[in-house]
Homo-oligomer: A and B are copies of this chain.
């Protein structure tokens, strides 16, 4: 089977890790670089990755993540944060674009973000989640297991990790090596998920 299809078919969330097993820095670097190649609206790249590897920080995060053991056992914990004011990156992103096209793009972006904080946060959630998914698949492609976690106190982690108001927590991802065979969970039948031409009640 095509290796990419295999990765997408076989990735499953792992909560039970080989505690103490190191994730090589080069592997982690490669995972994060691949994650950063995800697409985003206007290429604003709303994702940032806070990599937590020290025992001290993992201990701090453990209660904030409702004492989920995987936080302590994982080789690394990645907090994916999203840029709720990504318009601030626009001038840098389009620096190399010819002036006329750039001015139009910047004007569209600044106009959209004027809709307010809620718009910016929703763009951050969507686009940083694209990066998060690519991160988990990149990990799997490199033999590293993962688990996405929404269950943590978003407000407390913002304080503990000094996250400024511009960014919001999107997802915590544990990375490591499964300590037991991976179990796949069931999914809805494709017929439940897919609708033709317009919404269909299922």
Seen from chain A, the residues whose Cβ lies within 8 Å of a Cβ on chain B are 2-9, 11-13, 29-30, 32-34, 36-39, 41, 43, 45, 47-54, 57, 81, 89, 93, 96, 122-123, 125-127, 129-130, 132-134, 136-138, 140-142, 147-148, 150-151, 160-164, 167, 170-171, 185-188, 190, 193-199
Q: Which of B133, B141, B185 contacts A43 (CB 8 A)?
A: B185
CB <8 Å contact, B8 and A141: yes
Distance in angstroms between the alpha carbons of A39 and B14 in the assembled complex: 11
B198 lies within 8 A of A162 (CB):
yes
Q: Across the interface, which residues of B come within 8 angstroms of A32, CB to CB?
A: 190, 193-194
Chain B residue nearest to A34 (CB atoms) is B8
In the A-B complex, list the 6 residue pairs whose CB atoms are closest, starting with the nearest.
Answer: A129-B129, A3-B3, A133-B133, A4-B141, A4-B4, A4-B7
Contacts of A170 on B, CB cut-off 8 Å? 126
Q: A13-B39, A187-B45 are in contact. Are A141 and B5 (CB under 8 A)?
A: yes
A11: B residues at CB distance < 8 A? 37, 39
Number of copies: 2
A129 touches B133 (CB 8 A): yes
Bound Cα distance A171, B96 (Å): 27
Given contacts A2-B3, A134-B133, contact A197 B52 (CB under 8 A): yes
User: Within the assembled complex, what's the spacing in Å between the Cα atoms of A188 and B37?
Assistant: 9
